[in-house]
Amino acid sequence: MISAPASRAEPVDRTPPLRAVDGPLSRVRPTWQRDAGGGRGRLMRVWPYLSEDGATVFGAVARYQFDGGSKDVIPYFKADEAGHFQPGAAPQPRPLFGLDTLNREGIVIIAEGEKDAAALHSIGIAAVTSPGGGKAAAKADWSPLLRAAESGRDVLSWPDHDAPGRAYAADVAGLLGPACGCLLSPPAGTPDTEGAGAADWLHAQLLAMNREWDGLTAPDLTDDERRTLRRRLLEAVAAVRGKVPPAWAAAAAPKSGGTHYRGLDDGPTRYVATDRGIIRVEGEKEYQLCNFRAAIIEEVQRDDGTPDKPRLLTIEGARDGKPLPPAVLTVEEFDRMSWPAKHWGTACMVNPGQGVRDHLQFGIKYLSHRGDSKVRERTVYTHTGWRQIQSAWVYLSAGAVIGAGGQVDGIDVDLGDLGELYRLPAPSRTPEERREAAAASMEAATIAPPEVAIPLIACVYLAPFAQHLAVDLALWLEGPSRSMKSTLAAVMAAHFGAGAERTALAASWLDTPKSISQKLFMLADALAVVDDYAPQASAGDQAKLDRSVHEVLRGIGNRAGRGRLTSTAELQTRRPPRAFALCTAEQYLHGESISARLFGVTMTPRSLDMKRLNRAQAAAKAGTLARAMADFLCTAARDFERCRTQMRADWQRLRDELLSAGLCGRTPDQGAFLLLGYGKALAHWQSAGLLTPEDGKAMFAEARSVVFALAKTHERRVSSAQPADAFVTILADLLLSGGAYLLDTNGEKPAVNADSYGWKLGILRQRIGWVDEDKKEIYLLKDAALEAIKDRARRVDTPLNIQAAALLRQLKDRGFLLSGNEEQCDGRTVDRTTRVVRIQNKSVRVLVLPLSVLDHQEGD
């Protein structure tokens, strides 16, 4: 060990660009002659190995470049008598490169090679590597890193993007123990090339900044640029970090007995794939099983977020030396062995005989997994939304998968036909791009009047949290035909993928309920537009459509899938709706229970700002809106757990506020969800620099009053769909319109207000009871009144599909029906809904209503 020159300064990269004029490294040769006439290489870089305090030089590694692009990395660790380092490896245990950077704060990265480590040093990150190449990790002294790990520092290995890189990471993890994590895949921004490492990542970043870099010398960066790159890298690293997978260690582990010929591993086989087909050998006999070759080349596990994860096998084959197209099969289809004729034609024959199919399916599996021909295994996610993969939260889409550090590579998502609609782009790379995307999203929130746009944009930014906040409402966007509901919904849906258009939306109400429910399950944490609830041509079609709507909306309202049985009478895994449903419709639904599960927003024709709509549609098509969502999700992924907890607390607070402001039933919950979503949108626009905090507060205050007004209107809508309310409304309407009439208790035309009791037209149709102006009571004949009212309800398309007893109970609960007589029944006192009164000297059993119910309805 030799003391370093005292003049060593403290720049970010302390490596001299070329050899030193004097000092311990002055004997590094300017050129390097390879043995056996291999040419002469030019010195490109010298990386000194320094002690942790930087005061001692252990030696250096020099990189020489040869004509034709090849390189040699020569260690200079043998000190001569004069203290100059000459070519030669360091004695074991060898020192690590980059020990002098361990005093930097934050994580310590173990890179593969001095070039990668030096690249990380240049952006202020502590990074080390071991000398002598990726296979010599065990020869280095890792004790400084063990100490760092013990002191609680994050130690992460960043393997090059290839098999030797992963083997090196596994070796290092084996030496450092469980304290050492690794990057499971290259961090976002790494070029997709074999062997890409930290230097390639930095090179790509500098290219994006239009900066040239030779990859070896320290790039000339300002402090701001260095900090930005460091932050970007740390974010990208956080998204892909994890424990070193055991598979890497298995690949890196030496085979038993040292170097060893693989051909001995497999032994003799009794199944053989030849050009004649697959043959089973039994001693001196052979049995032909089929006339084609087949092999499983890939097993794909399809993960929809439930415990059921079916596997799909991809089979390749050949017959008569000609390749057959790949066939994709479930495991059950494969085992049945009827697929060769189905996929490859009847010329592909399975021989007859007992047990042949069993032998063939076993033989194909056996041969596929034998020897070097390993079956590729991968997981394909078949839903959108948040998943915790290798301990990091990522948002799945058919395009980019978004993590805390941006796009996460290596995760496959297959959404089938919906893939085109839910394809997020990579998040913005620069603050300018982020601002542009957020501005497009903010403008999309102004194409409709606030009472429409605010709830819609709130849905967009609430949808990514639909599962985690258990959002149990659907937005019902009602408006007449040609009010451009679908166009507006498509602009909102384009936040999740540029493919969304008026004619290409996730689902239609004309789909079967099963299909809609399946889509709402797949599109987890996304906005799913269910389009076009319109009046149907026939009552039968309408009833069918209404059944679909009720089934789907009940599922959303209860956040539960429909329970089904499998063919073996076992309960199937439930697949509840996980999307946020935005439904477009030409009318509202009947029924209190179903209306309460919706939040209604009414659109009027010609209410959209066409210029802004055109610009929003252009932004949608260009993917700018989707990029805004990608940026939003990227931010959310950084601290997803905390974000989720905070949102729950915010929701509770907003709900309490709305409750105390006078909302009731489900509307405070719904209003709180919408305000929460709108708040997230405002926060995103604010973070992109589009709004000041004051603007944000003012816009939120406006949203609060808009949502409150919408909630009140919706409450009235729900209330009018309540059977008891509907009953008294129809009763008043029936009497006013002369559809039925009341007599006074003397059996005469009522002396006062006779017009209100069915006498307006002078044509008396059906008597349904009496009115007592003195007692302010109405006496209704139960059956006659119920029949008349239900009949009218059917004709005005507000069916009272509720049993008479339940209806009367609801009327009583709401104070529309006065108490009946108390009667003894089986020794108990029973409170009846009817009362016996004397009218015209006769006892009549009637329903007694306060006269005020009619006044109230007329006044309303």
Partner 1 sequence: MAALRADTLKAALPAAVYYARMLPTMPPARRGGWNDGGLCPFHEDAHKGNFRVNLDTGAFVCFACGEKGGDIIAFHQRTRNLSFPDTIADLGRSFLASSGQYDD
By CB under 8 A, name the binding residues for partner 1: 257, 259-264, 266-274, 279-288, 359, 362, 366
| 3-state SS, residue 670 | helix
Shortest approach of partner 1 to residue 194 CB, angstroms?
25
Residue that is written with structure tokens 């506020």 in the block: 657
What is the nearest approach in angstroms of partner 1 to the Cβ of residue 271? 8
User: Is the preceding peptide bond at 93 cis, omega within 30 degrees of 0?
Assistant: yes
CA distances (Å), 780 to each of 385, 616, 620, 733, 859, in order? 56, 58, 59, 15, 21
Residue 793 CA to residue 798 CA, distance in Å, equals: 5
Element (H, E) at 599: strand 598-602
Question: Which of residues 260 and 776 has its CB atom nearest to partner 1 in the complex?
Answer: 260
The 10 Å Cβ neighbour count of residue 761 is: 12
Contact 845, 835 (CB under 8 A): yes
Cα distance between residue 95 and residue 51, in whole Å:
8
Of the pair 260, 574, the CB lying nearest partner 1 is at 260
What does the alpha-carbon distance between residue 170 and residue 180 come to, in Å, rounded to a whole number?
Answer: 10
Distance CA 117, CA 73 (A): 15
Q: Of 211 and 255, which CB lies nearer to partner 1 in the complex structure? A: 255
DSSP code, position 571: B
Give the residue with the Cβ less far from partner 1, 267 or 859.
267
| Beta carbon of residue 109, minimum distance to partner 1 (angstroms, whole number) | 36
Return the amino acid letter for 197: G
Please say which residue, 279 or 736, places its beta carbon nearer to partner 1.
Answer: 279
Nearer to partner 1, 268 or 827 (CB): 268
User: By C-beta, is 249 or 279 nearer to partner 1?
Assistant: 279
Nearest-approach distance from CB 364 to partner 1, in angstroms: 13
Residue 19 Cβ vs partner 1, minimum distance, rounded to whole Å: 41
SS (H, E, C) 698-760: HHHHHHHHHHHHHHHHHHHHHHHCCHHHHHHHHHHHHHHHCCCEEEECCCCCCCCCHHHHCCC
Query: What is the residue-wise DSSP string for 95-112?
Result: PPBTGGGTTSSS-EEE-S
We find the least distance from the C-beta atom of residue 268 to partner 1, in angstroms, to be 5
Contact 682, 690 (CB under 8 A): no
Smallest CA-to-CA distance from 574 within 565, 561, 556 is with: 561
Q: Which pair of tokens denotes residue 32?
A: 């390097």
**Between 285 and 828, whose beta carbon lies closer to partner 1?**
285
- CA-to-CA distance for 557 and 722, rounded, in angstroms? 17
3-state DSSP assignment of residue 79? strand
Q: Which is nearer to partner 1, 273 or 817 (CB)?
A: 273
> Would you give the DSSP letter of residue 241?
E
Length of the chain: 860
Question: At its nearest, how many Å lie between partner 1 and the CB of residue 355?
Answer: 9
Q: How far apart are CA 64 and CA 45, in angstroms?
A: 7
> Closest distance between partner 1 and the C-beta of residue 248, in Å?
24
Least distance from partner 1 to the Cβ atom of residue 172, Å: 27
Three-state DSSP at 223 gives helix
Candidates 498, 797, 738, 742; CA nearest to 627 is 498
Least distance in angstroms from the C-beta of 281 to partner 1: 5
Shortest Å, Cβ 276 to partner 1: 8
CB of 290 to partner 1, least distance (A): 14
Helix, coil or strand: residue 212: coil
**DSSP of 264-316, one letter per residue?**
GTS---SEEEETTEEEEEETTEEEE-BSSEEEEEEEEEEE-SSS---EEEEEE
Nearer to partner 1, 66 or 287 (CB): 287
Q: Residue 637 CB, nearest distance to partner 1 (Å)?
A: 47
Nearest CB to partner 1, comparing residues 372 and 694: 372
Query: Quick one: 269 or 572, whose CB is closer to partner 1?
Result: 269
3-state per-residue secondary structure call for 173-210: HHHHHHHEEEECCCCCCCCCCCCCCHHHHHHHHHHHCC
**Shorter beta-carbon distance to partner 1: residue 360 or 735:** 360
Please say which residue, 365 or 590, places its beta carbon nearer to partner 1. 365
Is 169 in contact with 154 (CB distance < 8 Å)?
no
Provide, rounded to whole angstroms, the least separation between the CB of residue 359 and partner 1: 7
- Tell me whether residue 83 is exposed, middle or buried, using C-beta atoms within 10 angstroms of its C-beta: 0 to 12, 13 to 18, 19 or more: middle
* Min dist. Cβ of residue 287 to partner 1 (A): 6
Closer Cβ to partner 1, 310 or 371, answer by number: 371
